[in-house]
Structure 1
């Protein structure tokens, strides 16, 4: 109780400092229905509007560009002509892909007897290597541009106003600012291209597993809804996923080139993928329980020497914690008087968080099942096979038979197993999912 009273007094004191600089809209009358609706709604939603109206009417984010000239040339194409953020495109594409994957398993892979169309084709093998190499470079490019920027933004809030500043920064990651927006938007578009992974599997005569088809369809929808509604947490998925993808596609380049890759590292990749899902889900859902006090941030940031040193770094790419605090005070209608804000800014952002969580939990279970089948059950069967092989190494005739059998197995199994399973690095034993 003492803490909340002191917080309220500090917030009231901060209001006196900024009352001339921040013009706040009037609050609805106390104990009125409008006041109750105001307390229950998200800052960017309209008073009294329905859930559907809020989701429908929330403005689309501006098209991210590097220059104003590029903005004037390209703004219309991706948003109005191609409608890349209209819900029909990601939902229809995801459903169409999922159905096509199941049909391909039945009518192409099974009826075709698992024929490997890439065997003996230098063109297809080269295309597979190029595909994996391109996604490796792209994922690394995304990671090095998103993760450091987001972490620096969080540090600016912490150094400027302590814990309250960190909360404000975490709840206000400016996805719609050009620097982050362009990388997040392109990462969303890359989810359409990543279904090529499944096409390569079919060309290799391998079925598209439930883990891969669920992953590709769900990731597309999750990235769309997070960017469309400007969820503050979209940077977490982008940074986490692009970092794991960098390592994963690098492994698939090794596999496509048939270079040796330690089994322990393959197992570590799968573990890293599961950690990505679990940690990302936990980190993003913390925002549901955070409460902001922007007036406290403004008071502390005003007197922060660290903030003054950091401000020039942010003038070109990001707003400072002070400007974020003022913006949130306006959104909260009374934040300068000590009022609290929700971390989530709109119903759309909340929906994006819930959709991502609902997608991640089954994905984690699918990964756990994959890990058990591939590395626990699979590892035991390989151990038993090795023991059987060593037991016939006594007589020359048995050694000769084993050598012939091994040569044949290497010819068919390794050429087909490595070619099918790891030519693109996404065979049955190690599906491309992350």
Structure 2
């Protein structure tokens, strides 16, 4: 299992039984054999959301506020736990083994049971996260291309990356957990009818833009290493997909930030478009 030399792990204060019992070989084998089933889930997802939109056309919207609060609180708790359990390994590797190791050596799943378990949970979570769109459809809120494009690509990419044990996933996973911790907490407050300050929304968007920019930078650096034949445990296909995804997300979030917080001379049409984009962008799950 461990192609690379064993590295030191952070000194965890406590290990849960489900973490200490985690066996990467088993989950890797399952994902290698089943990751392509994600295409079937995507097909079902597209059928449900667009069929649901058609079904809801002449029906009153569902409020679902209590369920929405519970949903966001659940995802916020999950993200906070994921961030707390993966950040120690991430910072430990950066501090003791350097940037190259953090991007190119997949010890976070092959050698660290805690980080490995939460990498597995992160990958699987992209399937139930499709449920976000169900709330949009049933509450008759705007469903634009960006929202379902994002969910589809993140699910497919995450499952492929786990099957390939892509090393750069360490960065993508930790960034996602951290941003989602704040983002879902914000959604939960909004669902409970609290009114967080506008500055908090701006901070979340800025973090999302930063996440996409870092993703692009990592992908470009990895591509350079691959072209130079430097050992880096990432396939050229995986790296190309990551670069396309992160760049497209970066452009969309920059546009969102501009129209939401900076632009002052917008036409009525632009205002309507921006509102739709804002909702879909902020409800999208970034990788």
Query: Does the alignment pair 1:371 with 2:257?
Result: yes
Choose from 361, 364, 389 the match for 2:247: 361
Matched with 1:101 is 49
Unaligned 5+ residue runs, structure 1? Answer: 1-42, 45-64, 119-123, 159-165, 292-339, 383-420
CA contact (8 A) 1:108 1:202 kept: no
Q: Quickly say closer, same or farther: Cα 1:203–1:427, change in 2 above 3 A.
A: farther
The structure richer in helix per residue is 2
What are the superposed Cα offsets for residues 113-168 of structure 1, whole Å, 9 maximum, x if unpaired?
6x3211xxxxx32221111011111111111211221220222225xxxxxxx534
Choose from 171, 175, 183 the match for 1:240: 175
Matched with 2:61 is 116
Q: TM-score, normalised by structure 1?
A: 0.53
CA contact (8 A) 2:82 2:177 kept: yes
Matched with 2:127 is 192
CA contact (8 A) 2:189 2:196 kept: yes
Matched with 2:145 is 210
How far, CA to CA, are the matches of 1:137 and 1:287 in structure 2? Answer: 32
Choose from 266, 269, 272 the match for 2:201: 266
Q: Quickly say closer, same or farther: Cα 1:353–1:341, change in 2 above 3 A.
A: closer
Matched with 2:96 is 156
What are the superposed Cα offsets for residues 345-381 of structure 1, whole Å, 9 maximum, x if unpaired?
36xx332222111222222223233334444558967
After TM superposition, give the deviation of residue 255 of structure 1 in Å: 0.3
Matched with 2:166 is 231
CA contact (8 A) 2:73 2:188 kept: yes
The number of aligned residues is 260
How far, CA to CA, are the matches of 1:262 and 1:211 in structure 2? Answer: 25
CA contact (8 A) 2:102 2:170 kept: no
After TM superposition, give the deviation of residue 250 of structure 1 in Å: 0.6
Matched with 2:8 is none
CA contact (8 A) 1:167 1:290 kept: no
CA contact (8 A) 1:236 1:284 kept: no
Bigger Rg, which one: 1
CA contact (8 A) 1:226 1:234 kept: yes
Q: TM-score, normalised by structure 2?
A: 0.77
CA contact (8 A) 2:142 2:280 kept: yes
Q: Quickly say closer, same or farther: Cα 1:367–1:375, change in 2 above 3 A.
A: same
